[in-house]
Every structure is written in C-alpha cells, then in structure tokens.
Structure 1
Amino acid sequence: MKFRFPKFDTVGAPLLAVLGVALLVLETRRQLRKPTQPKQERLLQNASVAALALPALRLLLLPALYAAARWSGKHRAGLLPLLRLPGWLNNIAGFLLLDYSNYLWHVLLHRLDVLWRFHNVHHIDLDLDVSTAWRFHIGENIASVPFRGAMMALLGVPARLVVVYEFFFEACTAFHHSNMRLPWQLEQQLVQVVVTPRMHGIHHSIVAQETNSNFSVIFTFWDRLHRTLQLHVPQEDITIGAPAYRNLEEQTPLWLLQLPFQKQRAWKLPDGTTPERASESGRHLPLLP
C-alpha cells in the first residue's frame, strides 16, 4: 500500500492550511451567524478532536482509497473501464461519481444508528465554523474506509484522480463549514452548483427535517436529484447543533471521544420538546439571506 503522496503533502496540504487560515480570518471579519461560545475555546476543543481524526484520514483513508483504485485499474474492473470514455471525459465522470459516492456515504451517516453515533460528534458542535470541518471522530474516518474503498473499486476511477478529488473534498468541506458571510447574490449563484456556507448551515440545524437535508459535499446536484435540498431557511432562525446536546460542559474532547459508546439521546430539547420550523418546507424555494 502506498503511503507517500508527495504532491498532496508538499502542495495540497499547505494550500489547505492556507485556505483554513484565510477562512478563519474572513469568518471572523464577516460573520454569517452569531457565535454562542468563545472562539478560542471552540478552536481548542475542535483541534483536540481533529488531532486524532486527521492522521487517520491521511495515513489510513487516503492510502486505502488509492490502493482500491490501483487494484481496480490493474484489473480493469469497475464502471468507468466498461464505458471506455476518452481520457478527459473519464476524469470528469470519475470526479462526479466520487462526489456522488460521498453524498451516499453522508446519507448513511445519518440513516444508520451505528454510524450516526460517530457522526453526531460533528453535529453537536454548538457553533459552525471552519474548525467544525475537521471535528470528526476518528471512528468515523476509520468506518468510512470499507465503504469509500469499495466505491473506488466499483467505480473504477483512476488512482491519481482519487488524490485530486480528496484535495477538493477537503477544501470544499472547509469552505462550506465556515461562518463566512458571502454577498447574498453571489451565494445565490454559487449554490446552483456548489455547497455554500448558508446551505450547509441549514444541515447543522437542530430541526430534524433540516439536519436530514443538504447532504452534498461539493456539488449540489445530488441533493436536487434526490429531493433532499433545503434552502429557504433564514440564517438568523437557525440554531446550530443537536437538540439533546446543549450543555457546554459536554463539549470537552474526552467526552466527545466517548460519545459514540454512550446511549444516544432522543432528538428533543432538554425541556422535552421537539424543535420544529413553523414555516413551510423550503425544498423548492430559493436560498434566503
């Protein structure tokens, strides 16, 4: 199994670091949603969780995905070799299929209890900003290896494309988790193609029908295709997090690492009520400021 990816490590990783810092500065200057916790406190919490998750991403997930794609290429297995597309079209199709497979993985994280236990660590963050983009339980990254590796083999995507896609996957994840207020008209145009901060903010709402929407990672096509798109929710009306996990004292790194192995709480607020949106569903309505 290959573990060294020089271009990803010497070019991609520094670019991702620069992007993260830039988004951190921009979201501080142009806030989309008002934070509920001190910034430095959250950065420390999320960085502590990410300190375990990111090495698993780089040292286990990426090599496994690359190895699966190499195996598929060697044996001419999977969908794309069967289609015999020209090189440039094969790469475009492969990139889109990789993104679609991650849409499906994200849906599974929400639908299967055993996966949600780990993904919930990401969702119970009481604020949403660029640091949330790396706040994933190490168990979730490990659990993603069999599914995403199988997708590499089934799709037959070129191995080099896997590394390129992972760079854009991480860059777009940082972008749409950021708390950066883009000009509304610009975001209205962007969301027709790619996931934006306002769109993904809805996905982190304590309202269940909103959390279970907007699963796309890079392209918004997949939510439109599966009718899981939700845009018509004002950002000022969104409460970030999961309703049963509102206690600031539970946001410690040690507690978050233990969360998947505890009994999961019902989707209710501490007072026993279920968060709901009074207005009609906005699945087919435009993005609101």
Structure 2
Amino acid sequence: MFQIPAFDFAGAPWLVLVFGVLLWIQARRPLRRQQLRTMGRLMRNIGLSMPALLTLRLLLLPIPLLVASWADRHGVGLLNWLIPQTGYWPWMGGLLGVAAFDYAYYWWHYATHKVPLLWRFHNVHHTDLDMDVSTAIRFHFGELLLSVPFRAAVVLLFGVSFWAALAYEVVFETAGQFHHSNWRLPARLERWLNAVVVTPRMHGIHHSIVRDEFDSNWGTLFSWWDRLHGTHRLDIPQHELTLGVPAYRDERELTVGALLKMPFGPQREWRLPSGERPETRRKSPER
C-alpha cells in the first residue's frame, strides 16, 4: 500500500470537515428549493460514492503521485525544464503546476461530456435530480478509473511536483464540494468570488437539463478557463433551473444498484420522457 500520510491524516479529515460544514450551511441558507427528500438523496449519494472513494485512494491518488515522484527525480516535464529548482522557484513551479492541472481538467471535464464512452460514466453524476454538496461525491468508480491515465499523463507532461499534485487533489475536492453545494451566498460576494473560482450559482447552470446551459461552465477550481474559452455563464436565475438529465426524471430509476449498472446498458437520448427536448432560454444579463 502506497503510504500518503499528508492525505490520510490531514487532507482526508479536512475534506470530511468541509463536507459536514457545507451540509450544515446549505440547510440554513439554501440556494435552490430541493425537490427530493434530503436524507434519501444523501444516503444514495454516499452509498454510490463508496467504490469511487476506494478507487480514489487506492489508484487515482497514488499513481499520479508515483509518476510525479519519478518526474521530479529525473527532471521530466515542462515545468522541470523551464523553472530552476532553487530559491523561490519551486514555489512558483508548484503554483503553476496547480494551474496547469486545473486547466487540463477543464478539458477532461469537456471530454467526459463529448466522448461517448466517458459520458456513459459521467452521466451518473448528472442524473442527480437535485444538487447539493453530496452531488460532489456522486461519481461512478469507472469514471475515476478512466481518469487515472489522464492524470498521470498530465503530471508527466507538465512535470507537476509531488506536493503540487497532492495539494491539487485536496483543493480540487474542496472546490468540488463548494461549487456543488446548495449554499446561497450573497449575490455580490458570489460575483466577486466568481471572478476567480467556480461558485454554486455558476456550477448549478452546468447541471441544467437545457442543453446549451449544460454545455457551459466546465471549470473545477478557477473560473478563468471558462472566461478564456467563452463557456462562462451566470445568466440563469437558480429558481428557473431544472437539474438532472432529461431522460431520467423518476427517482425510482436512480437507486445505487441502477446507477452502478447505468454505464453498461443502453443510453437514452437527451429528451424528456414525453419525447420533448428542453427548450433553450434567451440569455439575460449575468446575475
């Protein structure tokens, strides 16, 4: 077993603490009205997350870290070639490594929507009919397995250091919990935050059943990448959003067992059970 004390004794407890705090905050300051019973969804999402969390700890985290250690020792990767490893430069390399990882993950997220094999697994995440902090752990373990080679390749290509890769994983999971949470931040504060990071209102639009809203806001940590590529949206009021995937509107179809089997069965078209496609809304000023 690959020992990662910094994650096991600091990172993991931090993530559990953030999860609990966000559960408490969103219950007191909800952003969107929930359609389903909170406890039932919470238990379902936690149950689905167990294989994914094991995959994260046993494969998704250690393999890229092993690659990062090897790249550090052999001076492999763009950052190792471009940045001197003396003085303050390693800190600069670490920060650039985090940014590079996040930019690469923007494109991975895009691929999980556009590549049919990847979408089969990512679809499980989007079928949640509500969205809160528990949606951040609602992932099929197959999606995490498929992302292992991608993350290892990113580490190798950019020469992301061991500590930058580890820090990014903790920050990545923290950011995911934050922007999936159903926390109503003051609108002005959220606009300020969104100048830098992905926020709950921004990511809520990404979980819409309306296709052009769903095809936006791909970022995980920084909102810069969406602004750079013209995919940033903050123009739909949260009360107008219908969340989930159009073809899966019945909670009884979304049990843990059904979700685990979903990627391996027939895939449904992006239509409501009635056969209609969700209508595109006219854009309004960002709010």
What's the TM-score bracket when you normalise by the shorter of the two chains?
over 0.9
CA distance in 2, matches of 1:111, 1:72: 31
Moved over 6 A (4+): none
The offset of 1:161, in angstroms, is: 1.2
The offset of 1:67, in angstroms, is: 1.0
Equivalent of 1:152, from 140, 152, 155?
155
Provide Cα deviations, 1:130-178, integer angstroms capped at 9, x if missing partner.
Answer: 0000000000000000111111100101111111111100001000000
Q: Would you say how many aligned residue pairs link Structure 1 and Structure 2? A: 283
- Look up the match of 2:251: 248
- Look up the match of 2:77: 78
The 1:278–1:165 alpha-carbon spacing in structure 2 relative to 1, beyond 3 Å, is closer
TM-score, structure 2 length as denominator?
0.96
Contact 2:51 2:141 in 1 (8 A): yes
Contact 2:211 2:280 in 1 (8 A): no
CA distance in 2, matches of 1:62, 1:208: 32
TM-score, structure 1 length as denominator?
0.96
- Look up the match of 2:169: 166
Q: 2:223 matched to 1:220?
A: yes
The offset of 1:88, in angstroms, is: 2.2
User: Per the alignment, in what secondary structure is the counterpart of residue 176 of structure 1?
Assistant: helix
Provide Cα deviations, 1:164-205, integer angstroms capped at 9, x if missing partner.
Answer: 111100001000000010011100100010000000000000
User: Percent same amino acid at aligned positions?
Assistant: 48
CA distance in 2, matches of 1:276, 1:231: 18
Provide Cα deviations, 1:186-244, integer angstroms capped at 9, x if missing partner.
Answer: 00100010000000000000011111110100000111111111111110110010001
The offset of 1:91, in angstroms, is: 1.4
Equivalent of 2:198, from 190, 195, 198?
195
- Look up the match of 1:101: 104
Equivalent of 2:214, from 200, 211, 218?
211
Equivalent of 1:175, from 166, 174, 178?
178
Contact 2:179 2:203 in 1 (8 A): yes
Contact 2:68 2:159 in 1 (8 A): yes
User: Per the alignment, in what secondary structure is the counterpart of residue 101 of structure 2?
Assistant: helix
Q: Which runs of 5+ in 2 are unaligned?
A: none
The offset of 1:73, in angstroms, is: 1.5
The offset of 1:278, in angstroms, is: 2.8
- Look up the match of 2:43: 44
| Aligned alpha-carbon RMSD (Å) | 1.1
The offset of 1:277, in angstroms, is: 2.5
